[in-house]
Structures are given as structure tokens and as C-alpha cells.
Structure 1
Amino acid sequence: MDSVDLSVFKTLQKWLEADLMVWLVTVVKTFGSSPRQPGAMLVLRSDGVLVGSVSGGCIEDDLASKSVSGELPTEQAKLMVYGVTRDEAQRFNLPCGGSLELVVEPVKTNIWVAEILNAINGHRLIKRELNLSSLQSHCSDAKVTDTAVQITDQHLSVVYGPRWRLLIIGAGQTSAYLAEMAQSLDYQVSICEPRDAMRESWDVDGVELLNLMPDDAVLAMQPDAHTAIVALTHDPKLDDMALLEALKSAAFYVGALGSKSNNANRRKRLAMFDLSTSEIERLHGPVGLPIGSRTPPEIAIAILAELIQLRRSAVASSKPSQVAEIQSVCN
């Protein structure tokens, strides 16, 4: 869950505690080009104030207007469709042929909101099932493999929480920037740091700090296709220990900090162990996209940019005709 959607739930909780009339709006389906993917949300109150995004601004304005004029549902959830006709596409600045389906839900109770926030704070995935007519909700534990959003005539099911994991080896300055930025991109972040002095100076909130040797940390995580592993200690003994296990795992990304020459030497060292040529070729080193980054925050941006590129290209290759373009519709 990204930081924008997390702020939606925090705001929803605050407004409910203030006894305000509020609606939760969720993107449930997209067709053609669309600005946000299913699962994107906003929370809206009766005076038109809102937090979050479902379109980039244009549809938000229409929803705010409807809330002020009393046109939004108050006793059951409603499916609303934008952009089906050419006139609507032009009115809401949707790209040609694009459309969005939204569920607009009047929220009556704070109980399930607290459940979701507790799960997110505990780095757990949680599924919420909503009866569109009665507004009754049920929350349960979810898996990464569960479909993010499902809707039928009577029910909406949405999975919330971190669907991606990032294991960082080393608790240095670059790691701190990377951990902070990664959390806003839907990553559950863990830091492996066996050095006492480095652990004591770590001060990034929301991150699991592991007092394990790097190879043990990788094995304990049981990396899957939603896991990225980045070695940033600059100590070959520690970084290589992690890489020996990470490159054999199912992690979708394995990277190591260092120059081209350092990584060339690293590949030679790795070849001395039980790694195949294809496994060693999986290593991203130097780590991150080559954008000329030098400072710790720039290096963190380069790493995350490469993770975004890989995630998006993987989606595009699996669903070439259905991928929504990630762009603003209100330029």
C-alpha cells in the first residue's frame, strides 16, 4: 500500500471519530488508458473536502460536487462509471477510450478501519469483503497471491497492505534513504545488520531491523517473486554472503553497491562457489539505473527507479493488451 492510500485510511478514521458524513471511493475496474490502477482510493466528506486520488483531479472534482449537492448514496454502496461515452471522456479528460469503475461507499463504522490500520502497521496483508447493499464488512488475513480487487453484483473484496518486500543488507546512510523511500512505494522493508555499532545508530521508523548474518537473513525471509534484495554494506564479506543465497532465490531483483570494476571482481568471487553462470548474471551491479547518481539519496532513487522499471515491465509483458498507462489525465 502506498503512502497516499495509507493517508486515506488515517483520514477516514479521523473524520469518523469526528462524526462526519464520509464516503470511501475505490477504483475497482479500468478499461483502456487510465490514470490509477484498481485499488486506488480517496476519502470524501459532505463538504467536498477529500484526501487521496482516483483519477488525477478531474473525476475528484465531480465527486466533490456530488457530495456537496447530496447526490452520493447514503445507505448502500454504489457503482459509478466514468468515461464510457466520448462526451464523458472529453468532459473528465480521460484518454480516448479510457474509463473507470468506482465503488462509492458511505462509511458508517470505524471498526473495520481500525482493523486495517492495525494490520498495515503490523506489516500484514489484510482482505476486506464488503456487502454493497448492507454495508457489512468482514476482514481476514490475505496472501500476496490474492487478487487485489474483486467485485460482483453484491460484494467487493479488496486486499490492503504491503504486497512487496525489500531486504537491505547494511544499515548505512544510503540504506536509510532507500528504506524511507521504499516504504512509500508499497515495500515492507527489512534491514539486515550484524554490526552492533551500525544497529545502534539506525533511526528509520517502520522498518524491521534484523540482527542476523546476511545469508541467514536471506534464508529466513524465504524470498519470492515479490521480493527485492539489495546489498549496501560495501564490505565484500557481508555483501557476498547475502548474494550467495539471494541469487539462488526467487527474488525478482538482487543488486549490490559498487563500481563496475568492484562488481566484476565480485562476480569472479561468486563464480568460485555453487552458483551457476545464469544465477550470477541475475546480479544488478552496479545497483540501480545509470542516472549518474553519486550521493546517498541519489543512489536510493536510482535503485528504486530500477525496481519500478522491472515491476512495470513484468506487468506489461504478462498483460500486454490490458496495462493501464501511468499518466496524469488532467495535463
Structure 2
Amino acid sequence: MFAQLANWLRDGPVVVCSVGQTQGATPRKSGSRMLVSSASTSGSIGGGLAEARVLARARSMLDEDGERAILDIDLAGQEQSAGICGGRMRIALRRLAGEAERLRVVEIASALQSGHRVPLPGEWLGGDIEAQVAVPDVRLIVAGAGHCGAALCELAAHLDFETCVFDSRSELLRGEAFARVAQRSDQLDAVSAWLQTGRSVQAVLLNRNFEQDIALLRVLCVRPPCFLGMLGSPRRIAEVRRALPEFQVQLQDLVAPIGLAIGAQTPHEIAVSILAQLIEQRRGC
């Protein structure tokens, strides 16, 4: 989002709408953001009437040159409420414009791209809200570029992952499904390098054979990601564990078979079940 914001600021002012404090049931929580320019919007602070009110205020700021605003959104279901969820949201709006502001956003985007967290003071966000921290996207390492790997990468492109794909079959990595991944490689050394980051890392093994599982796990267990999952039958999973006696401690947290139990069968159904589990883990549900 910050990279997109930097690009939009080349064309004119942009209002950044940030969810601050929330109470009770609300559609989005602190740290959710939406960008509003004269021509476009990106992101969401919750949809419905609440977002419509925020969008209207942001548009007025673009027209009137207002720099900061705070909106308190009541969702208690009363006559003037924006919904019946029952909670409350405070939204900070900050109008950004000019080269100095754009360069500051470029710095933020660059730091996030490098895997660093970036403090965002409440005043910079728009006023009377708590300071926040912008967190870089989770790095998702996908091992296996077959049908399931391709489906997983297609869907992950919409879910704020920085996706890296490994497969020893380099010809598969040129497929359209991998056009939006950040990095792809047919070399195991690349997987080791992908683990060297300040980002949170999740890794999914969707390999075609037992031997590739073993090779990847020998690399991944040296610096275990925060989530490690593998697709496979109970017998295959048991054989993989037995083949790696030196990594039994690290493999205690291996999620296998990966994916929520929704009866998935097709590659895209399997991808949905896996991504749901990854989102659950990264949200701390």
C-alpha cells in the first residue's frame, strides 16, 4: 500500500484513512487503511455506510485542502449510527501532497520492502489516535510449482503476501501463475537466502516427491519459519519425519497435512484451505 501511495502522490494529493482505536464489534481493527485520490480508492476501512462517510470526508479534504481530520464512527444501531455491529471506530484522515511527503512515503515503502517495521506517529496518521507500526508483508515460501503450487500463488497474489517460489523444474516457474511472485528459483540456495529476512516467514511444501521434501526441510529446519506446513498423505508425512532424525525438535511444529479440513480436492480448493490456515496463523486467531 505504501508503494502504491508513493506512486499516486506523483499525480496529486492522496488522503490516507487509518483505523485507530476501536471498541466492541467493528468490521476492521486498528492499522487497517484506505487510500483515496481524486480518481481512485485502494484498501478498505470496513465497507458499508461507515466507509461511505469516511470516503465523503476524504473527498472533501482533497477539494478543500484540509490536512487532518478525525471521524468517530458509531455502529451502535441508533438513528444516526453507521451500522448495527455494536462497536465504535475512530478513523484518522491525513491529506498528503507534494514531493517532500512523497519522499517520506518512499522511505517507508523502502524500509518495509527491506523487511523492517516502521513506526507511524499518530500525528502523522492524522491526529488523535495511537501511534501504529507498519509491518512488512509476510514472506510466503512455496516449494513446488505444480498444479497446487500454481493455484496457491494465483490466490496469494490477492492476500498481501510476498511470495517466493522454488522448484527444481525451472520450466514450470515461467508459467503465468507465477507472474506476480516476488522471487522464483530452481536453486536450494535461494530458499536459504529467503529465510534471511526481518519479515515473518511462512513456508508451504507442495513438492512432487518425497526426496524433494527431505531436501527442502534440511534447509528450512536450519532457520525455521514461523509456520511450516506440508501437503501429503499420513504415510508420506511419517516417512519424511523418519528420514530427518536430526531435526525432530524443529519438526514438532510441522503442520501436516496442511490446510483446513474443508474436504478440498481440486488444486484451487486445496489452495483455499491452505491460505485460510496461513491467514489464521498470521492473524493470531
Give the TM-score normalised by structure 1.
0.69
* 1:255 counterpart SS class: strand
Task: Write out aligned runs for 1:100-179 (5 A).
Answer: 100-109=89-98, 112-113=101-102, 116=105, 125=112, 143-144=116-117, 146-147=118-119, 149-152=120-123, 162-179=136-153
Task: Write out aligned runs for 1:35-50 (5 A).
Answer: 35-44=27-36, 50=41
Counterpart Cα distance in 2 of 1:205 and 1:197: 16
Q: Is the alpha carbon distance of 1:265 and 1:174 closer, same or farther for their aligned partners in structure 2, counting shifts above 3 Å?
A: same
* Of 193, 217, 221, the match for 1:220: 193
The aligned counterpart of 2:247 is 275
The aligned counterpart of 1:13 is 8
Query: Is the Cα contact below 8 Å between 2:233 and 2:257 reproduced in 1?
Result: yes
Query: Is the Cα contact below 8 Å between 1:24 and 1:107 reproduced in 2?
Result: yes
2:246 pairs with 1:256 = no
Task: Write out aligned runs for 1:310-321 (5 A).
Answer: 310-312=281-283, 314=284
Q: Is the alpha carbon distance of 1:111 and 1:301 closer, same or farther for their aligned partners in structure 2, counting shifts above 3 Å?
A: farther
* 1:103 counterpart SS class: strand
- Write the letter of the residue equivalent to 2:112: L
Counterpart Cα distance in 1 of 2:142 and 2:62: 49
Higher relative CO (CA 8 A, sep ≥ 6), structure 1 or 2? Answer: 1
Task: Write out aligned runs for 1:183-202 (5 A).
Answer: 183-201=157-175
Query: Is the Cα contact below 8 Å between 1:13 and 1:110 reproduced in 2?
Result: no
Cα deviation, 1:207-227, whole Å, max 9, x if unaligned, reads 3012312xx334322367811
Query: Is the Cα contact below 8 Å between 1:166 and 1:190 reproduced in 2?
Result: yes
The aligned counterpart of 1:31 is 23
Query: Is the Cα contact below 8 Å between 1:30 and 1:101 reproduced in 2?
Result: yes
Give the percent of matched residue pairs that are identical in Structure 1 and Structure 2. 24
CA shift at 1:177, angstroms?
1.7
The aligned counterpart of 1:91 is 81
Query: Is the Cα contact below 8 Å between 1:142 and 1:159 reproduced in 2?
Result: no
- Write the letter of the residue equivalent to 2:89: L
* 1:241 counterpart SS class: helix
2:179 pairs with 1:204 = yes
2:275 pairs with 1:304 = yes
* Of 49, 53, 58, the match for 2:49: 58
Counterpart Cα distance in 2 of 1:227 and 1:211: 19
Query: Is the Cα contact below 8 Å between 2:73 and 2:81 reproduced in 1?
Result: no
Segments of structure 2 that go 5 or more residues without pairing to the other structure are: none
* Aligned positions, number: 280
Counterpart Cα distance in 2 of 1:50 and 1:25: 10
Cα deviation, 1:102-139, whole Å, max 9, x if unaligned, reads 2222333367558757986x8x616xxxxxxxxxxxxx
* 1:168 counterpart SS class: strand
Counterpart Cα distance in 1 of 2:108 and 2:185: 21
